[in-house]
């Protein structure tokens, strides 16, 4: 394009905010005067993004039983955003993940002649394969995080580009544990357990208390251990209340944000299934993956699951390299025992780190440039 484009974007949660901010950096390098607007978070705002709504409005979890109270509000936001974009007509709309929200929006915008890009291929290789038909109708182009995805999409006549995973460039190949501990005020000589119960309110509601109770059991077995929770700013108060209710206020350290520093500093993490598990893998940290949701949501998800793994590190390694304890299996005792097994087996931890290093190398690409180039080619 001769002039800088106007780019509309929607990122629905913390991980989407990070991915979108990295893409915005690539777009700004290609087009210094690029204008961006839509729904986003703090990191996108730091790149000059004009957030008409905050991404927290879209952070939901599970199926209809849990989202019904917010569904009307989310639908209203999407309708208002669609109307506003049809009037302002950006050069391209880029939906960052959040397929339940973005694919429907992209479909309407594309039918009105606005170019659409979907960044993060929906996990049709893991569950809900029927979604591929909606992707083909909604997106002019898909930006893929994993190397096997473009060929899969090509089988369904969907244009796609592998851009690598941007986190593989953000996270160092050899994280500095000592520097991270110094920054967080943690001693070098004691073990550290990181608790990451999710970035959504509903995830915290289902997981945080179980994680905290598991941490209490770990503390009984390893009295010197330090336990740290990096809290999403909007959820810090909720976490503080849960920690207090579990009687662990004196034993847990809550920090606002700083999840990467916490992962770099820890020896093991108890973590909710999601993008954070890939971050932990890129930090080469052993982990115990857990997830809980409403029983009906769990029933529906299990029926649609195509692979034996849920956590991204296991999916990408095609093996249970780290334990997954899901739904009824995620009890304080089982979670604590799995954490202690990592702490008691340094040889297993070293072998896992080597495997995660290989994974890290496979995901390293110049994501910002490749993504911006793909958008540029679409815009001509």
Are residue 115 and residue 128 in the same domain, yes or no? yes
Residues in the chain: 380
Number of structural domains the chain divides into? 2
Quick: pLDDT tens for 330-350: 999 999 999 999 999 999 999
Q: Looking at the domain assignment, is residue 30 inside a domain?
A: yes
The pLDDT assigned to 63 comes to: 45
Q: Looking at the domain assignment, is residue 281 inside a domain?
A: yes
The pLDDT assigned to 64 comes to: 44
pLDDT < 70: residue spans in the chain: 1-2, 59-69, 126-127, 297-307
Are residue 241 and residue 358 in the same domain, yes or no? yes
Other C-beta atoms closer than 10 Å to the C-beta of 12 total: 27
The pLDDT assigned to 60 comes to: 60
Are residue 58 and residue 22 in the same domain, yes or no? yes
Say if residues 12 and 58 touch (Cβ distance below 8 Å).
yes
Q: Looking at the domain assignment, is residue 210 inside a domain?
A: yes
Are residue 152 and residue 200 in the same domain, yes or no? no
CATH number of the CATH domain containing 151: 3.40.50.2000
Are residue 37 and residue 132 in the same domain, yes or no? yes
Torsion of CA 171, 103, 43, 52, to 10 degrees: 180
Q: Name the H helices within the chain.
A: 14-30, 42-46, 64-88, 99-111, 132-138, 149-154, 167-170, 177-184, 201-221, 236-245, 259-265, 275-282, 295-304, 312-317, 332-343, 346-363, 367-379
Distance CA 102, CA 104 (A): 5
The pLDDT assigned to 37 comes to: 98
Are residue 267 and residue 326 in the same domain, yes or no? yes
Are residue 124 and residue 192 in the same domain, yes or no? no
Q: Looking at the domain assignment, is residue 170 inside a domain?
A: no
Q: Looking at the domain assignment, is residue 266 inside a domain?
A: yes
Are residue 87 and residue 142 in the same domain, yes or no? yes
Are residue 230 and residue 264 in the same domain, yes or no? yes
Give me the domain span that covers residue 53: 6-164+365-379
């Amino acid at each position: 394009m001769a002039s800088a484009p106007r780019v509309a974007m929607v990122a629905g949660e913390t991980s989407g905010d990070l991915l979108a901010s990295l893409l915005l950096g690539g777009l700004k390098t290609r087009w210094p005067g690029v204008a961006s607007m839509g729904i986003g978070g703090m990191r996108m705002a730091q790149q000059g993004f004009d957030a008409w709504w905050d991404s927290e409005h879209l952070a939901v979890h599970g199926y209809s039983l849990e989202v019904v109270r917010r569904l009307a509000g989310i639908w209203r936001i999407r309708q208002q955003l669609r109307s506003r974009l049809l009037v302002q007509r950006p050069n391209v709309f880029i939906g960052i993940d959040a397929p339940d929200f973005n694919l429907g929006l992209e479909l309407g915008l594309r039918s009105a002649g606005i170019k659409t890009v979907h960044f993060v291929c929906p996990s049709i290789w893991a569950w809900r394969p029927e979604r591929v038909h909606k992707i083909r109708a909604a997106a002019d182009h898909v930006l893929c995080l994993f190397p096997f995805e473009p060929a899969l999409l090509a089988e369904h006549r969907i244009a796609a580009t592998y851009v690598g995973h941007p986190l593989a460039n953000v996270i160092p190949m050899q994280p500095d544990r000592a520097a991270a501990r110094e920054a967080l005020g943690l001693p070098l000589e004691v073990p550290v357990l990181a608790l990451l119960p999710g970035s959504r309110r509903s995830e915290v509601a289902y997981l945080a208390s179980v994680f905290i109770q598991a941490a209490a059991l770990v503390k009984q077995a390893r009295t010197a251990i330090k336990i740290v929770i990096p809290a999403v700013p909007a959820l810090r108060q909720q976490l503080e209340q849960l920690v207090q209710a579990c009687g662990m206020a004196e034993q847990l350290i809550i920090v606002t944000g700083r999840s990467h520093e916490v992962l770099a500093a820890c020896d093991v993490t108890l973590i909710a299934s999601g993008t954070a598990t890939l971050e932990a893998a890129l930090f080469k940290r052993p982990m115990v993956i857990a997830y809980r949701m409403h029983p009906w949501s769990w029933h529906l998800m299990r029926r649609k699951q195509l692979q034996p793994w849920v956590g991204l590190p296991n999916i990408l390694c095609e093996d249970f390299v780290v334990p997954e304890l899901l739904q009824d299996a995620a009890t304080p005792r089982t979670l604590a025992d799995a954490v202690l097994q990592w702490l008691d087996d340094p040889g297993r931890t070293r072998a896992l780190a080597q495997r995660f290093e290989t994974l890290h190398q496979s995901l390293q690409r110049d994501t910002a440039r490749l993504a911006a180039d793909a958008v540029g080619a679409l815009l001509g």
